[in-house]
């Protein structure tokens, strides 16, 4: 089953006009920020092939990213490692989502959020959709934008801190990343509140 526009159409039938899909990437890694995207699709110009970013090849993700930049209102935002350690990863993810919503060119009047829990300080009507990136085209678009942008951040950090394999593991706790963490120690971009990193300090 592919994502469709039914959640968006249901919201439009209730009178909402600008429906933003919101998703985040990077809750699980040991290093790097958590990244969120908000996307408002034009119902008349929805790119073909939208899906959960994890279901797409790197080439297809990039092609959809390029299309979305042209035809949709897109906003990307991050929550830093310091904010993750201070707030916890869920609160930091929600902070990134709210920043992404606030960054849209025109404010939305409704939001479709991937997952069960909504940010505490939502200031507009919203609904959480479990596995929303596989159900809603707006959320799947947000998952693609967030994934590509966070990967770019990790590629840049990999050049600054070689040896951890961030260019391939994107900060997740792969075997090679764990070995580097033991041998080289944590960087300023490691999440000190995460147990594998905390235990080494």
Question: Binding site for a divalent metal cation: what residues are annotated?
Answer: 23-24, 114
Distance CA 91, CA 83 (A): 9
Which residues line the annotated binding site?
Answer: 23-24, 114
C-alpha 54: how far from its chain's center? 12
Q: Count H helices, E strands: the chain?
A: 8, 5
Does an H or E element contain 74, and which?
Answer: strand 73-79
Is residue 173 within 8 A of residue 29, CB to CB? The reply is yes
Closest by CA position to 168, among listed 53, 59, 29: 29
End-to-end Cα spacing for the chain: 45
Does an H or E element contain 5, and which?
Answer: none
Compute φ and ψ for 113, nearest 5 degrees: -110, 130
């Amino acid at each position: 089953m592919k994502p469709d526009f039914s959640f968006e159409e249901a919201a439009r039938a209730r009178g909402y006009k600008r429906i933003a899909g919101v998703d985040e990437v990077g809750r699980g890694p040991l290093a790097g920020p958590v990244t969120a995207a908000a996307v408002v699709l034009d119902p008349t110009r929805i790119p073909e092939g939208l899906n959960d970013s994890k279901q797409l090849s790197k080439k297809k993700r990039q092609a959809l990213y390029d299309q979305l930049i042209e035809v949709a209102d897109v906003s990307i935002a991050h929550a830093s490692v310091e904010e993750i350690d201070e707030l916890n990863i869920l609160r930091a993810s929600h902070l990134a989502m709210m920043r992404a919503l606030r960054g849209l060119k025109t404010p939305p009047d409704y939001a479709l959020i991937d997952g069960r829990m909504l940010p505490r300080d939502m200031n507009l009507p919203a609904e959480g959709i479990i596995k929303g990136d596989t159900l809603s085209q707006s959320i799947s678009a947000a998952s693609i934008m967030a994934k590509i942008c966070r990967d770019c951040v990790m590629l840049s950090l990999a050049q600054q801190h070689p040896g951890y394999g961030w260019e391939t593991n994107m900060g997740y706790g792969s075997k090679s990343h764990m070995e580097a963490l033991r041998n080289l120690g944590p960087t300023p971009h490691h999440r000190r509140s995460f147990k594998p990193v905390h235990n080494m300090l």
